[in-house]
Amino acid sequence: MKYYILFGPPGAGKGTQATAMAEKYNLCHISTGELLRAEIHAGTELGKQAAALINDGKLVPDSVVEGMIASRFASVKGVDGFLLDGFPRTLEQAEALDELLDEDAEMVTSVISIMIPDGMIVERIQGRAAKEGRADDASLDTIRHRIETYHSQTEPLIAYYKARGKYKEVDGTGTIGQVRDAIFSLM
């Protein structure tokens, strides 16, 4: 089984690229953002708690996200692997993922990072908020906080996965097709 991580700052195009990657390589795309939004939309207790945190630009507790990921790994059949989008976001989550995979004698296959500059992050997230009506993307203060959180908590994963020989990076500033071609060349 293959386990890919799609990495990059908010608005880098991970969701856009994940669909094509999942189709081409028969992967189950697991977007923690989509899993959480489904809980929020359903009005579950988890969804209410997640909404409050997300609206403040904070991360949902690791144990909740890790449980959702483990459940998907166990329940999805008929795929050649998984594509994680939005997880792990912290060193603690990366270590927890390693432990989870190690239980089944598996490991992360590769981390593919789509990188864009901070100014482009703001443009893309504001555009997405207007187009998709996503309240979690509407506030400039929330966007800036998400960028700061990415730099402080998630960027350290670059060194973590580089040290394991798993990290690969693509320039996310090109067209969707250019970025997709760059990603496919790394898989």
User: If you write DSSP's letter for every residue of 100-167 in order, what string do you get?
Assistant: HHHTTT----EEEEEE--HHHHHHHHHHHHHHH--GGGT-HHHHHHHHHHIIIIITHHHHHHHHTT-E
The letter for the amino acid at 40 is I
124 catalytic per annotation: no
Return phi, psi of residue 113, to 5°. -105, 125
Catalytic residue among 89, 124, 168, 180: 89
128 catalytic per annotation: yes
89 catalytic per annotation: yes
| Tokens 């991580």 belong to residue | 5
Catalytic residue among 24, 48, 134, 162: 134
CA-nearest of 146, 148, 154, 145 to 114 is: 154
Q: List the structure tokens of 69.
A: 């990921």
Catalytic residue among 14, 124, 168, 180: 14
144 catalytic per annotation: no
Q: List the structure tokens of 186.
A: 């790394």
Catalytic residue among 124, 146, 168, 180: 146
Catalytic residue among 2, 128, 144, 166: 128
Catalytic residue ranges: 14, 89, 128, 134, 146
